[in-house]
Amino acid sequence: MLEIHKIPVHTPYPIGPVNSYLINNRPYTLVDPGPDTEEAKVSLTKRLTSLGVVLSDISRVVLTHYHTDHSGLARWLSGITGAHVYVHKYEVRKLTFDYDFFQERLPFLREAGLPTEVLREILEDIDPVEKPVLPQTGLEILHGGEVLEFEGGSLLTLHLPGHSDGHICLYDEASKNFLAGDFILKHITPNPNMEPDPSDFNKRLPTLSQYLNGLEFLENVGARLILPGHGENIDNSRDAVSRAKKHHRERLAVVTSILEGNSLSVYQVMRVLFPHATGFQIYLGISEAFAHLDCLLAGGNVTKKEIGGVSFFRKAS
């Protein structure tokens, strides 16, 4: 049996701590070590010590996705322990020194009809934590479907995109424990983050459709306990899946009603959904609005017209 310990690690973000998980079986493995901050290093090391594990015991680090709060400490850990870092192939480019998150998404922000001063407001909302970067050696690329073997058990990697295109979950088929990363959380719904298609950077991935497909998959997995990347465990996966589905169904209905008799840009839709958003929250709001509009467009529920490089959406008649 695998012995899995939850380790809440400090982050400077409004979401609060990130949950790192220690698999206390050889080879000792840490899932999502946390952000690269001194506070995170202290909370992680302290808890590992109380579990009788020293850092040098860690030989594998698995990243569920590239976000700073989950992945930042992978490089530091690998540097001091020699641990190999396991990450999905789509996340690798986003964890390099040269990666420019906004540059890659600028065409979409232009298409959204974002006023210049609002774009500036987003860009000036600087992340307090340095951008995470992968170590140069000891990288293990995941595609989903790999089995990570341990003394006493194994974890199956599952590629479940939607929150990030290279998002990985881990499933212990023996105990039916499901390590979810940010795929599903107890009290909030993860943002279907705007992502360019890795095979054509001018196109957006259908992140909400990908996410809804992932929820269908999770519903059929029959997980007993979900161990999420933030907050409390989820002991009823079917309820959690139906709550997440309901949330998106309702938001799709709200977006459709906003477009009843109106032709609006993504920015205008975002302002109706999140009137008080500031700084980076505006970016997240645009991402949320785009995900739902792209999904409605694919389903024939809305139409899209481009004027001067900006897309305007309207409810289909």
Contacting Zn ion within 69-88 (CB under 5 A): 69
Binders in 141-160 for Zn ion, by CB under 5 A: none
SS3 of 254, please? helix
Asked if 32 touches Zn ion (CB under 5 A), the answer is: no
Beta carbon nearer to Zn ion, 41 or 67: 67
- Per CB under 5 A, contacts with Zn ion among 219-248 are 229
Minimum CB distance to Zn ion, residue 53 (Å): 23
Least gap, CB of 167 to Zn ion (angstroms) = 8
Residue 32 beta carbon to Zn ion: minimum distance, rounded to whole angstroms = 8
Q: Are 15 and 71 in contact (CB under 8 A)?
A: no
Residue 227 zone, left/alpha/beta (φ > 0; ψ -120 to 50; rest): beta
User: Per CB under 5 A, does 195 bind Zn ion?
Assistant: no
Q: How far is the CB of 71 from Zn ion (least distance, A)?
A: 9
Nearer to Zn ion, 69 or 111 (CB): 69
Whole-number minimum distance, CB 9 to Zn ion, in Å?
Answer: 11
- Write down the residue that tokens 């990697």 correspond to: 157
Q: At 12, list the tokens.
A: 């400077």
Bridge partners of residue 170, in order along the sequence = 157, 179
The one among 67, 105, 248, 251 contacting Zn ion by CB under 5 A:
67
CB atoms within 10 A of CB 9: 24
Interface positions, 162-191, toward Zn ion (CB under 5 A):
182
What number of other Cβ atoms are within 10 A of residue 87's Cβ?
A: 24
Residue 94 binds Zn ion, judged by CB under 5 A? no
User: Binding of Zn ion at residue 288 (CB under 5 A)?
Assistant: no
Dist CA 128 CA 10 (whole Å): 13
Between CA 54 and CA 157 the distance in angstroms is 26
What gap in Å lies between CA 262 and CA 237, rounded to an integer?
38
* Smallest distance, Zn ion to C-beta of residue 230, A: 6
Q: Which residues bind Zn ion (CB under 5 A)?
A: 67, 69, 182, 229
